[in-house]
Amino acid sequence: MKRNRLLAVLVGGVFCVAVMSLYRMLEMMQGAELQHMETPDGQVENDLSRLQQQIDKLERLLSDNNRLVATLRDKLFHRQASWVKGGTGNVSSGSAPSRADSLPGCRLAEETKDGADGVQLLDVYDLLTFENPNGGVWKQGFEISYHGDEWAEHPLEVFVVPHSHNDPGWLKTFESYYQDQTKHILNNMLIKLTEDSRRKMIWAEISYFSKWWKDIDEQKREMVKRLLGAGQLELVTGGWVMADEANSHYFALLDQLIEGHQWIQTHLGVKPSSGWAVDPFGHSPSMAYLLKGAGLSNMVIQRVHYAVKKHFAQKQMLEFLWRQSWDSSPRSDMACHMMPFYSYDVPHTCGPNPAVCCQFDFHRLPGGRLFCPWKISPQRITEQNVEERALLLLDQYRQKSRLFRSPVLFVPLGDDFRFVESSEWDAQFGNYQKLFDYFDQHPELHVKARFGTLSDYFEALHRRLNAAGTTLPTLRGDFFTYADRDDHYWSGYFTSRPFYKRLDRTLEATLRATEILFSLTLAEMRRSRGDGRLVSDFPAREHFKRLTTGRRSLALFQHHDAVTGTARDPVVVDYGTRLFRSILNLHNVLQSSAHWLLLLDKSQYHHDQSKPFMQMDNVMPAHDALPRKTPLTLSDEPRSLIIFNPTEQLRSSVISVVIDSPDARVVDAETGRPMAAQISAVWAEPSRASSEHFQLDFVAELPPLSLVVYHVTKASAGSAHRARYTFHRRGNPPAIQSEHFQVSGPEADAPLSLSNKHIQIWSSPETGLLQKLRLQSGLVRQVQVQFLWYGTRTSQEKSGAYLFLPGEEGAQLYSSSEPPLVRVSRGPVFSDITSCFRHFTHTVRLLHLDGHAGRSLEISNMVDIRSEVNRELVMRLVSDVANGNRFYSDLNSFQMQQRRTLGKLPLQANFYPMTSSSFLQDSTSRLSLLSAQSQAVASLRPGELEVVLDRRLQQDDNRGLGQGVTDNKLTASLYHLLLEDRRGGAQEVGGASVQHLSLLAHLTSLSLSHPPISMVAPSDSQVPKLRPFLPLRSSLPCDLHLLNLRTLEDPQEAESPSQEVALLLHRKGFDCSSAPEPSLECTWSAHEEVNLDDLFSPLRFRSVRRSGLTLLREDDEPESARQQQLPRITSLRPMEISAFRVEID
């Protein structure tokens, strides 16, 4: 009590001091103003500038005082918080003070930004010249020297780690590779490792391993377990695939990791401890974070820019602790080994000289299919040559060792699809063992070499480092954009095959929505029955299998030749077909789950696979076609439209359906309340409206995770609001066919403008393209949309699936012989401007909504470049935001990374991956582009932001694919453009400012990535009574994202759902310098601790147990910490993902 009183007095004191100092300052300023009235004109400018400085100082003082008062107030609240009463410590934005950064949740987000120690990769990029001098035998490096006595005290300890890199699809499909190569590799592995206990092997891709496991008998399975137990075989990373790290969303990255780890736990009972990523084309710290959270301790990476590798080698920094940019503590640190040379094949892994190392790839012995390009072949090791061969190899080991801080050396031995034939196992293991034996017999060489696994290597490394008292340096940042040689930057694959990058995210959103609804359905079923059992007619097991297939299709597509768009055409078709079939299967689970949840009388539930109770409103006809709306036939009888909101936020959304009547009415089925709606034309062609079909758009109020029912009926003629249309085309007015809608021509010289409560936009009347934005606050920004073409080089080396090698002329402004048709629609629900060009149709839309959905501008493109040769289409925003050479793009939709556009680098090097967001900012404004698909992004000049929409390239770019990219489709891309006021500059951390999206941008991105899902009930009048399903009392705090609610497999009954669910929560870090007016209608967490029971009320948890990110049982917190008593308080830090094993009561 005394402490509370003391705090209260302290707060009061600080407040008084603050008020007095402000009063004194105002008095001084007033005095200055009076003096100014008496001064001659010559001093006016000086005085004004002094006044400006005083105001700035006052603002800083105010800010500091606010922060101090808020900190004290927060501590006071924290002490008084009685968790037994169950408060979550949330702050409503309705009570937002004038300065956003004094909000407790903001400060918590800010506190993660104060670490400046270690190496910042952005500073390294600033430092490097990126010249490429010839380094001798190590072409991209330098000459390495040693005296020979360096290992006298601490002998060189070499671990040769055999591996075989198996792509789950690239030049062949997953299935073909498995039948032709992978199953033989794994079959031989069993035999050859069992022959000699000194032999070791690592394996990464669980997609292949699990398929092989199904094929082998119980005896072989026992052999596998014995090899794992003896440490001869190690499963590394343990993901379903070796995932791409540029285009993949963190949901999918984590999901494929969960799928692999859960499979390993169920069938093998082991846990991966080391990460292995030798082929993804650049590396993201998001992956390091997920691996650390999944219980791994170490990782290996390979594809890093050759200039960065050289710099790190010179500084002996190839092994480091990789820390998250936003983390000021060592919590997220991951020990990482960067391979120093060009590739992960044998010629580039034993040491710096590939001509020598190739002689120790015994798969290339004379007489085989493979040879050494350096023209010196390997020799079998005999008694006669063993000394000469051993010393030659040892010289490479010693040279490589000089690049590291410890005398423990990691030497991979393998390549793509190696160890297929029994003879290769014999050649590699037999010849290397003779060399190792020779080293053992000659202690004067001070070397101990053996076969090992990643765990063997890292254990020895940490042991040596600890003994020597050596610590690894800390590093922050990411390893994009990758170049393997010359100016060959791998920024093309950030966009290649954009149709499938979009389909990837459609499956991801469908999978997450289905997981959540399925988990809620099973919990509700067990609760309603009262005995914990499921309804017998509900096909829970079949649905769980469909979910598993969906998880595995999404997981397979995260492979670094799948989502990247770098596989051969037939392989892309195979991936696409898997994604497509999984979406259809998941729709089946969604419909069935929603059916049961919505029935008022559950006894009426009947599952009929051939005739589902509900149909999806959006239907994909094929894997390579865009989804289409199913037209609804209306009558006086109401049609039930069921909308599922898969987000954890209450939202106002515009729901769009196609109907057969120009007049319709929508009401909330529960209350009978009519919903705001508008009828628009369905344009069969740019200037011809369909006479049979019409688009009905209405505003739906959707509680979090809810299923809401609306009734749609035919209405009396003329009763529905219809959109009004205006058409523009320079010099050639179009003939418009539209009998049901009011159509007019443009008013002469009138500006083309649209507005809602939050924004006004101006567009060019000639092109319809955006020119200017104005916010309700008065902030105006020039924002011009342009379209441009990039060509490719005229020389031998041209752009392809991986590489972006633009022509010297750079980007050329898009022009067409025909002026575009510009169609403007205005209505009560939305207004938009559509520009119809030959290669794309571009639409900007404003929603007339009160909530956050009305604050951004929706931009959609329909792109078709199938007629083009060696061209890439780009959408560029040109603004007057003064961002200098800095902009931000996201990494895997998990975190933002500062980018610096560098003139010393070629144009293609300044393109970066963008999974879902990027922004430009200056001291007064921020312009964010949020996307529903991944693509390349750049800011080549101040104020500019450009994204690559599609690329069509006729040739291979010499990276092994053997073909160009010519399987383009009609491709949709979707964005939201958000302009925000900013107050207060960015905080610098280690030379690089750590920034997050604003809360408004997070919510907008959430809506974009997880749109509402619409289903239609049958039209007959026999529809049973439905009632809405509202599982949550209120939205989650808006900085808390429900990443997943994933039903786990029953350990007792394979391929069946258990009662346990993986609850995955991500607490977002958010920027506090932009707080929209009026405030957001949501709360955010003021403290690290949250009360799970309150968050998810009225859902109840029978048990809650924190676990690792992949829900492995050995990562569960101990039984003693398992929370069975109420309330369940848990800590969720900003930026962190937390996983819980829960049982929903």
d(CA 1094, CA 913): 38
The angle that helices 183-195 and 218-229 make with each other, rounded to 10 degrees, is 60
Q: What letter does residue 591 receive in the DSSP assignment? A: H
Q: Which helix (H) or strand (E) holds 156?
A: strand 156-165
SS3 1001: helix
SS3 361: coil
**DSSP result, 749-794:** T--EEEE-SSEEEEE-TTT--EEEEEETTS-EEEEEEEEEEE-B-S
3-state helix, strand, coil in the chain (%, to 5): 30, 25, 40
Structure tokens given for 582: 């999984």
Judged on CB neighbours under 10 Å (0-12, 13-18, 19+), 30 is: exposed
Structure tokens given for 910: 């300044």
Output the CA torsion sign for 846, 851, 856, 862. negative
Q: What letter does residue 283 receive in the DSSP assignment? A: B
User: What is the SS3 string spanning 166-195?
Assistant: CCCCCCCCHHHHHHHHHHHHHHHHHHHHHH
Half-sphere exposure of 860 (CA within 13 A, CB side): 12
d(CA 491, CA 493): 6
List the one residue out of 782, 830, 1070, 811 whose CA is nearest residue 927. Answer: 782
Half-sphere exposure of 893 (CA within 13 A, CB side): 28
List the one residue out of 427, 420, 425 whose CA is nearest residue 180. Answer: 420
d(CA 249, CA 976): 18
Contact partners, residue 531, CB within 8 Å, separation at least 6: none
Are 283 and 301 in contact by the 8 Å Cβ rule? The answer is yes
The angle that helices 250-267 and 498-529 make with each other, rounded to 10 degrees, is 60
Three-point CA angle 861, 1039, 780, nearest 5°: 50
List the one residue out of 649, 632, 761 whose CA is nearest residue 701. Answer: 649
Are 210 and 183 in contact by the 8 Å Cβ rule? The answer is no
d(CA 283, CA 269): 29
What is the phi/psi pair of residue 690, to 5°? Answer: -65, 145
Q: Is 279 a catalytic residue?
A: yes
The residue from 101, 167, 244, 279 that is catalytic is 279
Three-point CA angle 752, 755, 757, nearest 5°: 170
d(CA 570, CA 592): 34
Length of the chain: 1145
Contact partners, residue 922, CB within 8 Å, separation at least 6: 881, 882, 883, 982
CA 951 distance to own-chain centroid: 22
Q: Which helix (H) or strand (E) holds 337?
A: strand 334-338
List the one residue out of 639, 652, 651 whose CA is nearest residue 699. Answer: 652
d(CA 258, CA 260): 5
Catalytic (active-site) positions: 279
